[in-house]
Amino acid sequence: MTENKNDKKIGVFVCHCGINIASTVDVDKLVEEFSKYSDVSHTENYKYMCSDPGQKLISAAIKKHKLNGLVIACCSPTLHENTFRRLSENSGLNAYLCEIANIREQCSWVHEDKTEGTKKAIKIVKTIVEKVRKNESLTPVEVPVTKKALVIGAGIAGMQAALDIADAGKKVILVEKSPSIGGHMAQLSETFPTLDCSQCILTPKMVDVAQNPNITLYTYSEIEDLEGCVGNFKVKIRKKARYIDEELCTGCGICVNKCPSKKALDEFNVELTTRPAIYVPFPQAVPNIPVIDKENCLFFQKDACRICEKVCGPKAIRFDQEDEFIEEEVGAIVVATGYDLLPITEMREYGYGKYKDVINGLQFERLLSASGPTEGEVRRPSDSKIPKDVVFIQCSGSRNPEYYKSYCSKICCMYASKHAMLYKHRVPDGHSYIFYIDIRSGGKGYEEFVQRAQEEENVVYLRGRPAKVYQEGDKMVVWGVDTLSGQQITIKADLVVLAQAIIPRNGVEELIKKLKIQTDEHGFLSEAHPKLRPVETNTSGIFLAGCAQAPRDIPETVAQASGSAAKALTLLSIDKIHHLPIVATVDEDLCSGCEICIGTCPYSAREIDEEKKIAIVNEVLCEGCGSCVSACPSSASQQKNFTDGQFEEMIKAILE
Amino acid sequence: MQKEISTKKIFSKLLEKFETISGENTFNCYQCGCCSAACPVASEMDLLPSQVMRYIQIGLTDEVLNGNTMWICATCYACQARCPRGIDIATVMETLRQIKLRKNEDWTVLGKIDVDELNKLPPIALISNLRKMTG
């Protein structure tokens, strides 16, 4: 038995986790080993430590043996650290004197040999015993919550989240990059599976957003910078110059009508048409205030024209307007940045975008839309003829890990069926063909919708991915296959519509860097847990909604946005949040005030105490990342319960 | 006629051999059919390239080895250039030819083949024959 050099009374509890641990680790051997330690006052093993009887035996031991340190050898701390720390606190022992030794994920699950597994488990538990020997009792840092939310992106996801938060009586800052709110949903014609007009169901919500007194809307604005953390973020918003005085503009539209520069490609009509240099994206835009597109404005490019300025009744044109910066403080953030489509110019087999009559799904939505460039008459872009044979190609760029995107874009099966159906409604004597690989129609009324397209609307479904599309005269020839009949198929079409893969919104990478959140390999935002924390990011206080996270349809987006709003509201409805006390601390005798830590800290938590000439820690801002600790040249900065001294002993234990 | 299939028949020694020679995992193919759509000579084949992959996936290898697909294939790589899963289908065809050819003569002297017979042979068969025992 080793001599008890300290006044520690540690308890070591070993969990069998059924057979998850016990089949690869000799749990009796562990108990035997740690009972030899002079400062381990109690040790035992049990089938499920996390179960009620398991917790009771730990609690009883804490009280009986007056334990002042606790090591639970079990699964990963991401699962039950909270359980055992809470138990510890409730049994009269500071939560931060309780540590988890992960002998499941890091040992039993990855080994087969019981002798070796047991040896490794002993080493793992030993290191944690060393750590607990020098752990201090800590108290969580209390931080007040700023009761206001920021929602980034005002498509259907962002609008829904903002409205839910605002309706609960909390203030919302809604920031939208483009000149109007509405997002892609404003571009759609009718929505599956009920075929209700997209704008008709969307515009009332847009008006709600505009009129809600709890929502402050910043359109044509972007996030410039973000500081702080959960409960207290500081956000800097860049309000881009519209070159219009928003107070004076009446939205009469004379400037738009008179603008002589009409060459710019219209973003709202997905480049099917052009628009003036001064424009409002669409008639129901919120706010109904134009924007001057500098790149195409004759004044900005050639110092000429100024017609808009002359015709404007209220004299609202401001060519000298500059970007404005607004600072706001918020407690929670919802990111709803949405999606774009994989550009057709990348599709090698379908003509690299060189054929005018090969278009994407959103362009076809505009052709179907009553507010579109053809007022809902389906006319093809090259010669404005009404196409009589239309081919829809699904999985264009999706499910293709070799050349494009490996994932399924999820909504294409449904919208291709909708497109084919709506086309038949517009052009009754037309023929529509859909090339699919699998039809994925999981959703309320979705399968019935696809069946209706096949049975009642005479849409021809062909199973196979076409290999190429090329032009022959005024026809687009599609080379396909129907794998069900085993036949190669050629269709001479007038128009080809590609269901392009859904990708994260263009330029969102910059924003992600500012928010310091994570993405997956494709650039979609990562959730904290795929099943149990689907609307939270790994950064506490930042939530997700809509296609920014993964491709999804409108009902799912709205549901998820409400979920995000509820999460944000949970945070905003408490007065104070508890911040982990595992923060940096400074040994005043060692600190030379060199300021290296200040430059290293990503959370602006280090600052100089002018009186003492040392670098102190703002515990409210400190996230406990440890950057300053490793950067400090004189070891003055230490992380509480993760000190250099603790690590030395832990490393020694593992090397013994 | 009903075909009796079994996992034993699917995960056979032949499949192992096929995957060793071709370097491809048969089950990588998810039957999108793009190879068949791209193939310039599929109209002459009794099984489309994607069907060949499917037959192998369900263990109907005899049907594939007795079919004409692999002899019609000209190794133009139109299929491989489009496969979304990066399967080298032309090499799959060559693998099938190799498996078939390995059962017989190891070496053929081209000069000794009768001219009439030579005319009847698919050129790819000769090429495969010359490549025999090299991969």
Domain contains B98: yes
Domain assignment of residue A445, given as a range: 341-503
User: Residue A620's pLDDT band (boundaries 50, 70, 90)?
Assistant: confident
Domain contains A4: no
HEC per residue, A18-33: CCCCCCCCCHHHHHHH
**For position A263, what pLDDT does the model report?**
92
CB A192 within 8 A of CB A449: yes
Render pLDDT for A162-210 as a digit per residue (tens, 0 to 9).
Answer: 999 999 999 999 999 999 999 999 999 999 999 999 999 999 999 999 9
Burial A53-72 (b: 16+ CB within 10 A, else e): ebbeebbebbeeeebbbbbb
Domain contains A231: yes
**For position B132, what pLDDT does the model report?**
72
Q: What percent of chain A has pLDDT over 90?
A: 94
Residues in A closer than 8 angstroms to B47, CB to CB, are 486
**For position B102, what pLDDT does the model report?**
78
Answer yes or no: is pLDDT of B120 > 90.
no
The C-alpha of A356 sits at a distance from chain B's nearest C-alpha, in angstroms, of 23
The C-alpha of B20 sits at a distance from chain A's nearest C-alpha, in angstroms, of 21
Domain contains B22: yes
A488 and B36 within 8 Å at the Cβ level: the answer is yes
How many CB atoms within 10 Å of residue A321? 15
B interface test, pick of A349, A461, A481, A484 with most B CB neighbours within 10 Å: A481
Same domain, A76 and A175: no
The C-alpha of B80 sits at a distance from chain A's nearest C-alpha, in angstroms, of 10
Same domain, A301 and A330: no
Domain assignment of residue B43, given as a range: 7-133
A437 and B38 within 8 Å at the Cβ level: the answer is no
> What rounded mean pLDDT belongs to chain A?
95
DSSP, residue by residue, A478-535: EEEEETTTTEEEEEEESEEEEEEPEEEPTTHHHHHHHHT--B-TTSPBPPSBTTTBTT
Task: Collect all residues from A whose CB is shorter than 8 A from any CB in B.
Answer: 349, 395, 399-404, 437, 463-468, 479-483, 486, 488-489
Average pLDDT, integer, range A213-229: 95
User: What ipTM was assigned to the predicted interfaces of this complex?
Assistant: 0.84
**For position A12, what pLDDT does the model report?**
97
Domain contains A653: no
* CA distance linking residue B4 with residue B60, whole number of Å: 9
**For position B133, what pLDDT does the model report?**
66
Average pLDDT, integer, range A426-453: 96
* CA distance linking residue A602 with residue A614, whole number of Å: 19
CA atoms within 13 A on the CB side of A15: 27
User: Domain count of chain B?
Assistant: 1
A401 and B47 within 8 Å at the Cβ level: the answer is no
Domain contains A317: no
User: Residue A1's pLDDT band (boundaries 50, 70, 90)?
Assistant: very low
Same domain, A441 and A472: yes
Return the biggest CA–CA distance within chain A: 95
**For position A603, what pLDDT does the model report?**
80
In sequence order, the β-bridge partners of residue A191 are A196
Q: Pinpoint the alpha helices (H) of A21-76.
A: 27-34, 52-64
Answer yes or no: is pLDDT of A43 > 90.
yes
A481 and B85 within 8 Å at the Cβ level: the answer is no
User: Domain count of chain A?
Assistant: 5
Render pLDDT for A470-518 as a digit per residue (tens, 0 to 9).
Answer: 999 999 999 999 999 999 999 999 999 999 999 999 999 999 999 999 9
* CA distance linking residue B36 with residue A203, whole number of Å: 46
| CA separation, residue A145 to residues A138, A542, A620, A622, A623 (Å) | 21, 14, 11, 16, 16
**Boundary (domain end) residue, out of A107, A140, A173:** A140
CA closest to A480 among chain B residues: B37
* CA distance linking residue A265 with residue A276, whole number of Å: 9
DSSP, residue by residue, B10-50: HT-HHHHHHHHHH---GGG-----HHHHH-TTGGG-SS-HH
Render pLDDT for B75-114 as a digit per residue (tens, 0 to 9).
Answer: 999 999 999 999 999 999 999 998 888 776 666 777 788 8
Average pLDDT, integer, range B36-46: 95
CA closest to A465 among chain B residues: B34
Same domain, A387 and A465: yes
| CA separation, residue A619 to residues A225, A582, A591, A644 (Å) | 22, 9, 17, 20
Peptide bond into A287 cis (omega under 30): yes
Domain contains A318: no
Same domain, A379 and A441: yes
More confident call, A326 vs A6: A326
B interface test, pick of A350, A470, A483, A489 with most B CB neighbours within 10 Å: A483
B34 and A467 within 8 Å at the Cβ level: the answer is yes
Average pLDDT, integer, range A426-442: 96
* CA distance linking residue A556 with residue A442, whole number of Å: 12
**Boundary (domain end) residue, out of A140, A168, A197:** A140
The C-alpha of A466 sits at a distance from chain B's nearest C-alpha, in angstroms, of 6
Instruction: Residue A517: give its domain's CATH number.
Output: 3.50.50.60
Render pLDDT for A320-346 as a digit per residue (tens, 0 to 9).
Answer: 999 999 999 999 999 999 999 999 999
Domain contains B1: no
Comparing CA positions, the residue from A146, A324, A173, A336 lying closest to residue A228 is A146
Task: Collect all residues from B whose CB is shorter than 8 A from any CB in A.
Answer: 30-39, 42-43, 47-48, 50-51, 78, 82-86
Answer yes or no: is pLDDT of A298 > 90.
yes
* CA distance linking residue A552 with residue A546, whole number of Å: 7
Answer yes or no: is pLDDT of A4 > 80.
no
Instruction: Residue B127: give its domain's CATH number.
Output: 1.10.1060
**For position A623, what pLDDT does the model report?**
84
Same domain, A175 and A286: no
User: Residue B131's pLDDT band (boundaries 50, 70, 90)?
Assistant: confident
> What rounded mean pLDDT belongs to chain B?
89
3-state secondary structure of B4: coil
3-state secondary structure of B6: coil
User: What region, left, alpha or beta, does residue B23 occupy, with left being phi > 0 and alpha being psi -120 to 50 degrees?
Assistant: left
* CA distance linking residue A500 with residue B117, whole number of Å: 50
B37 and A466 within 8 Å at the Cβ level: the answer is yes
Answer yes or no: is pLDDT of A5 > 80.
no
**Boundary (domain end) residue, out of A140, A171, A203:** A140
Average pLDDT, integer, range A413-422: 97
Which H or E element spans position A579?
strand A576-579
Render pLDDT for A268-294 as a digit per residue (tens, 0 to 9).
Answer: 999 999 999 999 999 999 999 999 999
Domain contains A606: yes
Residues in A closer than 8 angstroms to B48, CB to CB, are 481, 483, 486, 488
Answer yes or no: is pLDDT of A525 > 50.
yes
Average pLDDT, integer, range A91-116: 96
Comparing CA positions, the residue from A379, A436, A382, A374 lying closest to residue A409 is A436
Average pLDDT, integer, range B46-52: 96
